[in-house]
């Protein structure tokens, strides 16, 4: 193969049309084979048909291209680039990008040489992009990367800024002063340079009329027509920010009120408990004094009355405490967060250690226990109450055995406390959660009847539920349900 053939083969293998056009004869002196593949006309037609190129140009581009060619010849431009359309042999319209070199001999342009590429797909993608751009519900604009001048804006952008299209396109950014200075600008510019995009940057935009809007801005580096550009996508969040501010103010006011009310309640509760306790202590103290100092002047019935007064006063004290505890649960501020049931159960067991030993009770915990969303101290109190009852309500001749385990499904954790105690008849299973509801005399099983009410209200304040399954003499299974913590590692 000769040198010339080799070069030709090379030119033919390039995925573009390589050509040479004779200015005087107005015809192609060389066209590479890709021309036939891309546009469908036989190479012979390119070379023989006079003004082949002009004839097959898209009619709408003809005038512009004639002017382009004339300018090339007149100004003897060394190199120029242009996009235009041609009609292929099968009628399809193709977008071509052409780079032309001018050959000058003896001061005269004798030939044009060029490389023409098929960019139809890229152009179509660009067209689809612009369609989306113009029909977007958010404000969008394209600026050239080098001088930051807008080359395209959509109607939403015009509406958002208050400037007309003409006032925006090709205007120097310093002249428009669209953006108010933002403190994180340098950092964001750096991010844009490094990553080619910025997402959801909160900026403040000054409209033509001087009013200011809060906008969430995304910026992406893109290429349009071979030129590096920046695509701006703006969402006006002024109203949203205003609503958020109002909400925040309202929340603060509410928090203040709650705190105020809580402190009012604390003061009230302290006063009430103090005022109620004073006469109680007097009752107990004087009954005690009677027993000690006047024992010889009282008979057994008299001494029994004194002891009953003392017991009743102590009971009253317990009741006052119970009422206060229960009341506090309703008004106290409660912030919930991720807490570990494992730690809660451990803390409860530690608090009950002496009681469990005294009752010779066995508590079996199935571990690991998951994390829930709740309040640690309140949950410890709840588990203490459930465990205490589980051990307390067991017949005297039976060794208490308590099982604790948890189930997790669909974002909810259910903690079970099961005992082998006396059980609860079905008809009482709901009412035992009411304050001061007891099924047994104080002498059989001591208590004031507030434990389960605290369990119920406490769990409900943590957005949970409580319940019991029980059969008399066979034991009870109490459960509490709470939202699972999102970062809990245990599987659902
Ligand atoms: P207290 O334990 O002070 O009586 P609670 O509110 O904790 O108050 O319980 C209310 C009543 O519910 C108890 O008096 C008892 O009759 C019944 N109860 C609670 N837990 C159990 C249990 N584990 N087994 C049987 N009965 C129970």
Question: In whole angstroms, what separates CA 400 from the centre of its chain?
Answer: 48
Which pLDDT belongs to residue 270?
Answer: 82
List the 27-31 sheet strands across, edge first. 27-31, 17-22, 108-118, 93-105, 79-87
- pLDDT of residue 89 exceeding 70, the answer is yes
Give the separation between CA 59 and CA 26, rounded to whole angstroms. 19
Partners of 184 in the β-ladder: none
Give the CA dihedral 267, 269, 270, 275, nearest 10 degrees: 120
Q: Identify which of 434, 369, 374, 437 has the alpha carbon closest to the alpha carbon of residue 408.
A: 369
Is 154's C-beta closer than 6 angstroms to any atom of ligand 1?
no
Residue having the nearest C-alpha atom to atom 4 of ligand 1: 449
Is 418's C-beta closer than 6 angstroms to any atom of ligand 1?
no
Is 420's C-beta closer than 6 angstroms to any atom of ligand 1?
no
Give the separation between CA 18 and CA 116, rounded to whole angstroms. 6
- pLDDT tens by residue, 107-156: 888 999 999 999 999 888 888 999 999 999 999 999 999 999 999 999 99
Q: Is the dihedral of CA 420, 422, 426, 427 positive or negative?
A: negative
Give the separation between CA 455 and CA 478, rounded to whole angstroms. 10
- Angle, CA of 237, 243 and 246, to the nearest 5°: 140
Which pLDDT belongs to residue 239?
Answer: 93
Question: In whole angstroms, what separates CA 430 from the centre of its chain?
Answer: 40
Distance 402 CA to ligand 1 centre (A): 15
Lowest mean pLDDT among 91-100, 263-272, 457-466: 263-272
Pair 194, 240: CB distance under 8 Å: no
Give the separation between CA 162 and CA 198, rounded to whole angstroms. 24
Which residues fall within 8 angstroms of residue 10, CB to CB, at 6 or more apart?
none
Distance 240 CA to ligand 1 centre (A): 51
**Of 382 and 226, the one with more pLDDT:** 382
Partners of 152 in the β-ladder: 142
Which pLDDT belongs to residue 3?
Answer: 72
Residue having the nearest C-alpha atom to atom 1 of ligand 1: 449
> What 3-state class would DSSP assign to 101?
strand
Average pLDDT score, the chain: 91
Q: Is 221 exposed, middle or buried (0-12, 13-18, 19+ CB in 10 A)?
A: middle
Which pLDDT belongs to residue 118?
Answer: 94
Is 319's C-beta closer than 6 angstroms to any atom of ligand 1?
no
Which pLDDT belongs to residue 492?
Answer: 62
Distance 380 CA to ligand 1 centre (A): 18
Q: Which atom of ligand 1 is nearest to the CA of 453?
A: 6
Pair 160, 140: CB distance under 8 Å: no
Q: Identify which of 394, 237, 262, 382 has the alpha carbon closest to the alpha carbon of residue 333.
A: 262
Is 328's C-beta closer than 6 angstroms to any atom of ligand 1?
no
Which pLDDT belongs to residue 238?
Answer: 95
Out of 196-205, 258-267, 268-277, 440-449, give the one with best mean pLDDT: 196-205
Which pLDDT belongs to residue 1?
Answer: 57
- Provide the 10 A C-beta neighbour count for residue 121: 10
Is 389's C-beta closer than 6 angstroms to any atom of ligand 1?
yes
Residue having the nearest C-alpha atom to atom 12 of ligand 1: 432
Pocket test for ligand 1, best of 392, 393, 466 (most atoms within 8 A of CB): 393
Name the packing angle between helices 376-392 and 451-461 (round to 10°).
150
Distance 467 CA to ligand 1 centre (A): 13
Is 40's C-beta closer than 6 angstroms to any atom of ligand 1?
no
Q: Which residue has the tokens 């509406």?
A: 159
The token duo for 489 is 């590692």
Distance 392 CA to ligand 1 centre (A): 8
Residue having the nearest C-alpha atom to atom 19 of ligand 1: 389
- Provide the 10 A C-beta neighbour count for residue 418: 19
Is 433's C-beta closer than 6 angstroms to any atom of ligand 1?
no
Q: Identify which of 30, 44, 124 has the alpha carbon closest to the alpha carbon of residue 89.
A: 44
- pLDDT tens by residue, 435-484: 888 898 888 898 889 999 999 999 999 999 999 999 999 999 999 999 99
Pair 387, 402: CB distance under 8 Å: yes
User: What separation in angstroms does the CA of 351 have from each of 40, 50, 357, 358, 361?
Assistant: 90, 104, 12, 13, 14
Which pLDDT belongs to residue 13?
Answer: 79
Give the separation between CA 461 and CA 478, rounded to whole angstroms. 18
Distance 476 CA to ligand 1 centre (A): 10
- pLDDT tens by residue, 200-215: 999 999 999 999 999 9
Distance 448 CA to ligand 1 centre (A): 9
Which pLDDT belongs to residue 452?
Answer: 96
H-run or E-run covering 197: strand 197-206
pTM: 0.53
Q: Above pLDDT 70, what percent of the chain?
A: 99
Distance 449 CA to ligand 1 centre (A): 7
Is 438's C-beta closer than 6 angstroms to any atom of ligand 1?
yes
Mean pLDDT over 76-105 rounds to 92
Pocket test for ligand 1, best of 420, 452, 457 (most atoms within 8 A of CB): 452
Give the separation between CA 118 and CA 95, rounded to whole angstroms. 6
Q: Which residue has the tokens 């999102």?
A: 486
Is 469's C-beta closer than 6 angstroms to any atom of ligand 1?
no
């Amino acid at each position: 193969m000769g040198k010339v053939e080799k070069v030709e083969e090379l030119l033919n293998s390039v995925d573009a049309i390589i050509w040479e056009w004779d200015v005087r004869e107005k015809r192609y002196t060389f066209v590479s084979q890709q021309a036939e593949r891309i546009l469908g006309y036989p190479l012979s037609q390119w070379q023989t048909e006079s003004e082949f190129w002009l004839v097959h140009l898209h009619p709408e581009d003809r005038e512009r291209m004639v002017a382009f060619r004339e300018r090339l010849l007149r100004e003897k431009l060394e190199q120029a680039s242009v996009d235009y359309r041609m009609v292929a042999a099968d009628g399809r319209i193709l977008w071509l990008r052409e780079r032309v070199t001018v050959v000058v001999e003896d001061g005269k342009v004798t030939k044009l040489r060029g490389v023409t590429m098929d960019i139809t797909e890229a152009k179509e993608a660009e067209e689809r992009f612009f369609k989306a751009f113009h029909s977007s519900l958010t404000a969008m604009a394209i600026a050239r990367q080098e001088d930051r001048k807008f080359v395209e804006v959509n109607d939403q952008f015009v509406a958002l800024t208050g400037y007309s299209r003409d006032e925006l396109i090709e205007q120097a950014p310093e002249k428009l002063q669209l953006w108010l200075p933002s403190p994180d600008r340098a950092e964001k510019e750096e991010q844009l340079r490094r990553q080619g995009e910025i997402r959801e940057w909160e900026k403040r935009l000054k409209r033509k009329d001087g009013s200011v809007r809060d906008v969430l801005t995304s910026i992406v580096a893109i290429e349009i027509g071979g030129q590096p550009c920046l695509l701006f996508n703006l969402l006006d969040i002024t109203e949203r920010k205003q609503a958020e501010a109002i909400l925040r103010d309202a929340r603060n006011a509410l928090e203040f009120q709650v705190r105020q009310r809580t402190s009012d309640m604390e003061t009230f509760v302290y006063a009430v408990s103090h005022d109620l306790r004073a006469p109680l202590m007097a009752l107990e103290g004087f009954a005690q004094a009677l027993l000690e100092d006047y024992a010889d002047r009282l008979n057994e019935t008299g001494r029994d009355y004194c002891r009953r007064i003392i017991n009743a006063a102590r009971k009253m004290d317990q009741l006052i405490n119970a009422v206060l505890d229960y009341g506090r649960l309703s008004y106290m501020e409660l912030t919930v967060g991720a807490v570990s049931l494992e730690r809660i159960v451990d803390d409860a067991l530690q608090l009950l250690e002496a009681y469990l030993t005294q009752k010779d009770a066995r508590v079996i915990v199935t571990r690991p226990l998951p994390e829930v969303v709740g309040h640690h101290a309140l949950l410890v109190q709840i588990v203490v109450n459930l465990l205490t009852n589980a051990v307390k309500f067991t017949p005297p001749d039976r060794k208490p055995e308590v099982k604790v385990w948890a189930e997790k499904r669909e974002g909810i954790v259910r903690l079970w406390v099961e005992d082998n105690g006396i059980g609860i008849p079905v008809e009482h299973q709901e009412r035992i959660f009411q304050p001061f509801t007891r099924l047994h005399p104080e002498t059989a099983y001591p208590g004031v009847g507030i434990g389960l009410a605290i369990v119920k209200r406490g769990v409900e304040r943590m957005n949970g539920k409580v319940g019991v399954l029980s059969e008399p003499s066979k034991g009870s299974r109490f459960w509490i349900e709470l939202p699972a913590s999102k970062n809990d590692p245990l599987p659902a």
